[in-house]
Each structure stands twice: as C-alpha cells, then as structure tokens.
Amino acid sequence: MTLLGDKIQEADWKKEKHVPVIECPDAVKKDEFFEINVGLGKAIAHPNTTEHHIRWISLYFHPQDEKFTVDIARFTFNAHGESVKGPDTSTIYTHHQGTTWMKTSKPGTLYAMAYCNIHGLWQSAKEITVT
Ligand code: FE2
C-alpha cells in the first residue's frame, strides 16, 4: 500500500513552478508574532486559468522534539476566470499567495503544501530558529 505522503511531490522551487515558497525570517523572537508569506511562481510563473490553477496552499508547523504537527493556515484561491459565459471569461482571478502571522516558543519546521488542479500536491519546508 502506498500512502498519501508518498504522492506529495517536491523539487527546487527555482526550477519547478509548483513548489510553494515560504518567506519568513530564518530566526524569530520567542513568543513574538512574525509574518509568513507563502506563494508560488517566484522564479517560474504558474498558470492561473479556469483549466489550470492553484486551488489551495496549506501551512503547517512542526515544533522541534514534539510528536505532532500543527495546522497554521489554509489559503483557498476560488476565482479562476470562470463565469456563466464559460472558462476564462470573467476577468476575475485569485492570485495564489497568502500571508499570515504566528508565534512560537520553540524552533521547528514550517511546511507548505500546494494543490494544482491538474498537477497534484507539492510541498516545501523551512527551518525556523528561536532566539
Ligand atoms: Fe500546474
């Protein structure tokens, strides 16, 4: 049996347009909120059409030496040009980018997972230290 985790793809975001990019400080202050931006297409733009788009990005944090992963935020991108006239006719598109804030007293790893409606699941990770 294969598990869902085996199907989540990963690559270098500079070469692969589906990989979510996590932007935040490498080191954060203990128990102080910091900003996190997550999105796609920093190096290579991903299409945003009715037929081909990023549906959502989820963000998780796994504190060092803890057993469980924490769900931080979920961004859904719901407008991709569709209208009663057909695909790509509304001129309204949600951009696949999200911003949130979090705080932690422990270092750990941020994980992002993105879903492309035709190319499946993609993940990336970023280590966070606490000072
Ligand atoms: Fe795609």
CA of 117 to the centre of ligand 1 (A): 7
Do residues 38 and 75 lie in contact, with contact meaning Cβ atoms separated by under 8 Å? yes
Percent of the chain with pLDDT over 70: 100
| Distance from C-alpha of 26 to C-alpha of 112, rounded to nearest angstrom | 15
103 classed as catalytic = no
Q: What is the pTM of this model?
A: 0.95
Residue 57's H or E segment, with its range, is: strand 54-63
Q: What is the DSSP pairing of strand 27-28 with strand 120-130?
A: parallel
Predicted local distance difference test score (pLDDT) of residue 42: 82
CA of 38 to the centre of ligand 1 (A): 17
| Nearest C-alpha neighbor of 36 from the set 109, 119, 115, 123 | 109
Q: What is the mean pLDDT of the chain?
A: 96
30 classed as catalytic = no
Predicted local distance difference test score (pLDDT) of residue 88: 97
Angle at 104 between CA 77 and CA 40, to 5 degrees: 25
Predicted local distance difference test score (pLDDT) of residue 6: 94
pLDDT digits (tens, 9 = 90+) for 29-43: 999 999 999 999 888
| Distance from C-alpha of 37 to C-alpha of 92, rounded to nearest angstrom | 22
24 classed as catalytic = no
Q: Which two tokens stand for residue 79?
A: 């407008």
Choosing from 14, 29, 30, 52, which is the catalytic residue? 52
pLDDT digits (tens, 9 = 90+) for 63-76: 999 999 999 999 99
pLDDT digits (tens, 9 = 90+) for 92-129: 999 999 999 999 999 999 999 999 999 999 999 999 99
